[in-house]
Amino acid sequence: MIRIWDTRFRRLREAHFVIGARLALSLFMPDLLHVHVNARVCPRFKVLDTNLPCVFTAWGHIPSDLLAEDYGRAFSAVDAFTADSAEVADELRSAVGCAKKPAHIFRWGVDQDRFRRVAVPRQLRDRLGITDNAKVVFSPRSLRDIYNHESLLGAAPRILREVPNIYFVFTNNHGHRYPDAPAYEARLRTLAASLGIEQHIRILPFQSHKDMPAFYSLSAVTVSIPVEDAFPATIFEAMACESPLVVSDLRDYLGVVDDSNAIRVDPRDCGQIAQGVITLLLDDQRRAAVVQRGLETVKQHGILEDGIGRLIAFYETIIWKRAKN
């Protein structure tokens, strides 16, 4: 069994970092260090233990100017990368001296005992004020600019003309982490009012992750149309809960998402978004095919235990290479 120190060091005074890191290294004696987000700590750990292999994960895209500065230069102390899309891995390896560093694509899959189609609790519809015969379009991403909820609202009037008895539900997934979420929510409400669709909009505060299968199961369509992304767990979650997807046509999704298991759209094109949602609402044959292929995709790419097993095997390879050198 290997010992991994999985750390998310943020901003610490140098003295506090050295004391805390030395103590942790002596107590845990890790075989590998996995650093998230703050690449600048990687060289600092190398000073403390030159033999400890270090793996870095970005969890999202890094601006090119940051990669060209001390943040990118810190990757010289990294033995390998993990990333949740090939695009992010390529960005990490674009830093000076990193082109040949190994990278492993690790996507957060789903626990299929939890994420599956479930009976929708009566109280959920009551809470939302949605009748049994009404349909739901669900947008599960955080209330932030990059997740582009405005484009779904822009598509909503056209969707409502085709399917009048429909509601658009937004949950602030992980949004409790972001101080800009309340201002963004206010913008969405203002836009909905200007479009005359506010009675069809439901915007909820942060929801517990354990409640998300009920939201996916309630939805006739799940929409995830960020303008920039890595690879979100929400894609596998919706597929596992048999909620057909309209998603952005981002390169980050290639290799998992295609035209058989989702409807891909330009996230800035409200017409494409509207047509994708309408197709999944009204074309029963296409909807059934997308749902079935989504379930197959989860089994192929999105089983959490399988992903973790492959990640540990990657760690073991890095540890072995470091020991050999």
**Window from 48-62, 134-148, 305-319 with minimum mean pLDDT:** 48-62
4-109+304-324 belongs to which homologous superfamily? Glycogen Phosphorylase B; (3.40.50.2000)
- Locate CATH 3.40.50.2000 in the chain: 4-109+304-324, 122-301
Residue 221 scores a pLDDT above 60: yes
- Mean pLDDT along residues 213-226: 97
Least confident stretch, 22-36, 129-143, 158-172, 215-229: 22-36
Q: What is the pLDDT of residue 155?
A: 98
Average pLDDT for 204-215: 88
Residue 7: which pLDDT band, with cuts at 50, 70 and 90? confident
Q: How confident is the model at residue 148 (pLDDT cuts 50, 70, 90)?
A: very high
Nearest to 78 by CA among 31, 28, 24, 41: 41
**Residue range 284-296: average pLDDT?**
98
Higher pLDDT, 90 or 47: 90
For the segment 39-54, the average pLDDT, to the nearest whole number, is: 85
CA dist., res. 162 & res. 135, Å (int): 12
Is pLDDT of 10 > 70?
A: no
pLDDT of residue 239: 98
Over residues 11-38, the mean pLDDT reads 75
DSSP secondary structure code for residue 60 in this structure: S
Q: 116-135: per-residue pLDDT in tens?
A: 999 999 999 999 999 999 99
Query: What are the start-end ranges of the H helices in 29-148?
Result: 41-48, 64-67, 70-73, 86-93, 122-128
Q: What is the pLDDT of residues 172-208, one digit of tens each?
A: 866 666 788 889 999 999 999 999 999 999 999 878 8
- Topology of the domain covering 122-301: Rossmann fold (3.40.50)
- Mean local confidence (pLDDT), 229-233: 91
Residue identified by tokens 């009037």 is 157
> What tokens were used for 144?
């932030």
State the Cα torsion 207-219-228-199 to the nearest 10°: -80
CA dihedral 216, 217, 218, 224 (to 10 degrees): 20
The set of residues, in sequence order, having a beta carbon less than 8 Å from that of 185 and lying 6+ positions away, is 143, 172, 203
Average pLDDT rounded to a whole number, residues 282-300:
97
DSSP 87: H
In the predicted structure, residue 5 carries a pLDDT above the cut 80: no
How many CB atoms sit inside 10 A of residue 28's CB? 11
pLDDT of 24 > 90? The answer is no
Which pLDDT value is given to residue 29? 86
DSSP string covering 157-193:
HHHHHH--SEEEEEE-TTGGG-TTHHHHHHHHHHHHH
The pLDDT tens digits for 76-87 are 999 999 999 999
Per-residue pLDDT at 104 = 95
pLDDT number for residue 8: 66
What's the confidence (pLDDT) of residue 162? 97
Q: What is the pLDDT at residue 15?
A: 54
Residue 54, exposed/middle/buried by CB under 10 A (0-12, 13-18, 19+)? Answer: buried
Rounded Cα distance, 239 and 231, in Å:
14
Question: Which pairs from 82-86 meet CB under 8 Å and 24+ separation?
Answer: 82/34, 82/55, 82/56, 82/57, 82/106, 82/311, 82/314, 83/57, 83/58, 83/230, 84/59, 84/108, 84/230, 84/231, 85/229, 85/230, 85/231, 85/251, 85/252, 85/253, 86/252, 86/254, 86/255
